[in-house]
Chains A and B, each alone.
Chain A
């Protein structure tokens, strides 16, 4: 029983890291219907930038702030150069543009800042904590706490601030939002900047755990099953999906793993996602769109 709870908690906490990455995708998808393939590249770029500034000797929080500024600048540039010229095109074209963008950002990030693995110390230790007999990782716990704070902050942002409400208006009906004077370009910039900062937080967390290197951009691949299961348009879905995948992976590895010789984790999430695609493709919290002719 202890093993079960321990695995479950460990899995849930790990799942929050997946959720964090998935939220970045949800933000942009919700606002514009575009699946931002370059979210992983943005994650890598932000983590590399942070590491570079830390190596240059900046204090931790200063480095974080500078990185945020860089990511905001990048988002504005992306909106101007890539998104605006493609404004009236269909979402598939935009998706392919984000594909190209991911190549641009990865090539630039590693070309400018190097491809070796860098260690990122964000001040969190992976100390074991004990709750009764149950072993919990301190790192995971703090990350989960931080993710919760972030989610609450985002929720407040969307429901209480003017910008947040404008974002929801744009997500709901772009043309109407424009007709009441909402500056779409500014909104895209803000959404991408928020997604980039969320990406940065994810990058920090993942980078601290497994080092900052190219493999970081592959977290996209982990986020996809989360989004399939949770739905692409819901932050709640990203959270639930991440938790489900995290817990599921951990439990599967522990209980089913020994039966098939281990190595379940890499594809377990995808298996579940594939099943979802057959029965409920829009995910637990996703919406079916009404077709008009």
Chain B
């Protein structure tokens, strides 16, 4: 018998049906914590800290399905979020839909169709040109939603906000608590669905496309079909995230919220959070969203008024760039991997160095 290192025999942690790499207990605790947020913290924290992080995490998850799992780099996240927001608006204003959840889900489906269309040229070509197509799509949307007044209902300014709509009996513009729980429910359900997809043959096919391209076809995987599916499903998630961001979080929005910077932001979220991991998206979102606030606060506290806002924003830009490079070099699996290693160290009963390596390596990348 050939020699195999004993570390290889440790069972992987994927025996849990959720396949998120986290134990059910941890997920349960997290859910409880999230449910309690409006009760234990202020309106500010709920609306301005937790909610946007959840939404950006959802957007990250959407992008991740295409970029992290299927390996197609996309710079079009902002554009597809815009499609979701504008589709919701169009369904409400031009389509007369009053029930917000219906509008947002339909908007997601519309975005999925659009994503599918933009995925078509990418299906036949290799990775890099996909990135180029996504960039073209991004600029196309930036132009589209400004150029045609139909999209903002011929208003004087090209911004959109929802007409009165209902959210299970509540007004969509009413209590922040209702909006928060709606967002949370949607995020939880969609994350659960994504997790199911990843652990099914769909996820494996996506990863095969990413890791083995031509060989994937040889072993029987329909690359074209699954690439198209990735574009569509990714767009679905991004569309919903866009509608949530524009209307539930911001209230009033325009294409200005969904420009190329947004695409970069979402891409950075998944790079730093950890590509091809589900919880990495939320970790990355928290990090990316909160870091500028922390920098701002630190600058104001320590340096006071001497610092111009322009300098601060350049500093942030600089720091983000550095972080991206550092993560790509040192920890391509993102903060998610770092956390895994940390928890492995904490929860092993007799933590030796070998244990730490084993613990870190025995958890599959999901």
A and B touch in the complex (CB under 8 A): yes
**A binding-site residues for B, Cβ under 8 Å:** 35, 81-82, 85-86, 89, 91-93, 95-97, 99-108, 110-111, 115, 221, 224-225, 227-228, 232, 263, 266-267, 270, 273-274, 277-278, 281-282, 289, 291-293
Interface residues of B in 312-338 (CB under 8 A from A): 314-325, 328-329, 332
B139 touches A102 (CB 8 A): no
Q: Known contacts A277-B129, A277-B132, A281-B121; is A107 also within 8 Å of B321 by CB?
A: yes
A267 touches B139 (CB 8 A): yes
B332 to chain A, nearest CB (A): 7
B310 touches A115 (CB 8 A): yes
Q: For the complex, is B126 an interface residue (Cβ under 8 Å from A)? A: yes
**B binding-site residues for A, Cβ under 8 Å:** 71, 73, 120-121, 124-129, 131-133, 135-136, 139-140, 143, 147, 213-215, 218, 264, 267, 271, 310-311, 314-325, 328-329, 332
6 A–B contacts, CB within 8 A, in A order: A92-B128, A96-B267, A221-B139, A228-B136, A277-B132, A281-B125
Query: Nearest residue in A to B75 (C-beta to C-beta)?
Result: A99
B324 touches A99 (CB 8 A): yes
A97 touches B328 (CB 8 A): yes
Query: Nearest residue in B to A267 (C-beta to C-beta)?
Result: B143
- The 8 Å CB contact of B136, one of A82, A224, A266, is A224
A61 to chain B, nearest CB (A): 30
B318 touches A86 (CB 8 A): no
- What is the bound-complex CA distance between A289 and B322, given in angstroms? 33
A107 touches B316 (CB 8 A): yes
A92 touches B332 (CB 8 A): no
Q: Cβ of B147: which chain A residues have Cβ within 8 Å of it? A: 263
Q: Cβ of B267: which chain A residues have Cβ within 8 Å of it? A: 96, 99
Q: Cβ of A263: which chain B residues have Cβ within 8 Å of it? A: 147
- The 8 Å CB contact of A103, one of B120, B131, B311, B324, is B324
In the A-B complex, the 5 residue pairs with the smallest Cβ-Cβ separation, listed nearest first, are: A107-B318, A103-B321, A100-B324, A104-B321, A107-B317
A274 to chain B, nearest CB (A): 5
Q: Which of B124, B136, B323 has the most CB of A within 10 A?
A: B136
A268 to chain B, nearest CB (A): 11
The DSSP consensus for interface residues of chain A is helix
Sample of 19 further A-B pairs with CB below 8 A, known A108-B318, A224-B132, A270-B140 = A82-B325, A82-B329, A92-B127, A93-B328, A97-B328, A99-B324, A100-B322, A100-B323, A100-B324, A100-B325, A101-B325, A102-B321, A107-B314, A267-B139, A274-B136, A277-B129, A281-B125, A293-B215, A293-B218
B272 to chain A, nearest CB (A): 10
A97 touches B127 (CB 8 A): no
- What is the bound-complex CA distance between A277 and B132, given in angstroms? 9
Query: Nearest residue in A to B137 (C-beta to C-beta)?
Result: A274
Q: Cβ of B317: which chain A residues have Cβ within 8 Å of it? A: 103-104, 106-107
B311 touches A277 (CB 8 A): no
B314 to chain A, nearest CB (A): 4
Q: Cβ of A93: which chain B residues have Cβ within 8 Å of it? A: 328, 332
A274 touches B140 (CB 8 A): yes
B62 to chain A, nearest CB (A): 18
- What is the bound-complex CA distance between A111 and B321, given in angstroms? 14
- What is the bound-complex CA distance between A104 and B323, given in angstroms? 9
Query: Nearest residue in B to A261 (C-beta to C-beta)?
Result: B147
- The 8 Å CB contact of A96, one of B213, B218, B311, B324, is B324
B292 to chain A, nearest CB (A): 13
Q: Cβ of A101: which chain B residues have Cβ within 8 Å of it? A: 321, 325
A62 to chain B, nearest CB (A): 28
Query: Nearest residue in A to B324 (C-beta to C-beta)?
Result: A100
- What is the bound-complex CA distance between A89 and B333, given in angstroms? 13
B98 to chain A, nearest CB (A): 35
Q: Cβ of B321: which chain A residues have Cβ within 8 Å of it? A: 100-107
B128 touches A35 (CB 8 A): yes
Query: Nearest residue in A to B143 (C-beta to C-beta)?
Result: A267
B322 touches A104 (CB 8 A): yes
Q: Cβ of A289: which chain B residues have Cβ within 8 Å of it? A: 126
A104 touches B325 (CB 8 A): yes
Q: Cβ of A99: which chain B residues have Cβ within 8 Å of it? A: 264, 267, 324
- What is the bound-complex CA distance between A106 and B319, given in angstroms? 11
Query: Nearest residue in A to B312 (C-beta to C-beta)?
Result: A111
Q: Cβ of B135: which chain A residues have Cβ within 8 Å of it? A: 224
Q: Known contacts A107-B318, A110-B314, A293-B215; is A91 also within 8 Å of B127 by CB?
A: yes
B121 touches A96 (CB 8 A): no
- What is the bound-complex CA distance between A232 and B320, given in angstroms? 28
- What is the bound-complex CA distance between A67 and B222, given in angstroms? 52
Q: Known contacts A103-B317, A267-B139, A281-B121; is A92 also within 8 Å of B218 by CB?
A: no
- The 8 Å CB contact of B329, one of A85, A91, A221, A281, is A85
Q: Cβ of A81: which chain B residues have Cβ within 8 Å of it? A: 325
Query: Nearest residue in A to B217 (C-beta to C-beta)?
Result: A293
- What is the bound-complex CA distance between A274 and B73, given in angstroms? 17
Q: Cβ of A225: which chain B residues have Cβ within 8 Å of it? A: 136
Q: Cβ of A293: which chain B residues have Cβ within 8 Å of it? A: 214-215, 218
A149 to chain B, nearest CB (A): 30
Q: Cβ of B316: which chain A residues have Cβ within 8 Å of it? A: 107
Q: Cβ of A104: which chain B residues have Cβ within 8 Å of it? A: 317-318, 321-322, 325
B328 touches A35 (CB 8 A): no
Query: Nearest residue in B to A110 (C-beta to C-beta)?
Result: B314
- What is the bound-complex CA distance between A95 and B264, given in angstroms? 13
Query: Nearest residue in B to A93 (C-beta to C-beta)?
Result: B328
Q: Cβ of A232: which chain B residues have Cβ within 8 Å of it? A: 128
- The 8 Å CB contact of B314, one of A97, A111, A277, A291, is A111
Q: Known contacts A91-B127, A92-B127, A111-B311; is A277 also within 8 Å of B121 by CB?
A: yes
- The 8 Å CB contact of A92, one of B71, B133, B139, B318, is B71
A111 touches B318 (CB 8 A): yes
A270 touches B139 (CB 8 A): yes
Q: Cβ of B126: which chain A residues have Cβ within 8 Å of it? A: 289
